[in-house]
Amino acid sequence: MNLLIPDEILQSSRLSEEELKVEIAVMLFEKEKLTLGQASRLAAMDHLEFQHLLASRRIPVHYDVADFEQDLRTLNELGRL
């Protein structure tokens, strides 16, 4: 899915397209609408870089049992377990 943001909105925000994606990713992660992986992909950042950004904003990384189980499934699929 593509999302079209009008140029006037982008100009009003005084953010570049990339910066706006990062802000949306951070907000959705903070509201627990996206996982860390999903948010970092939306922000076009690797996990560690995104975690550093969250830390700089004092946003805790929520990691629950469901996240752990998903990580285990991913590792298993990659043949790393």
Rounded-to-integer distance, Cα 43 and Cα 37, Å? 10
Domain ranges of the chain: 13-77
Provide the whole-model pTM: 0.74
Mean pLDDT per 10-residue interval, the chain, length 81 residues = 89 95 97 92 94 96 81 85 63
Query: Quick one: pLDDT at residue 81?
Result: 63
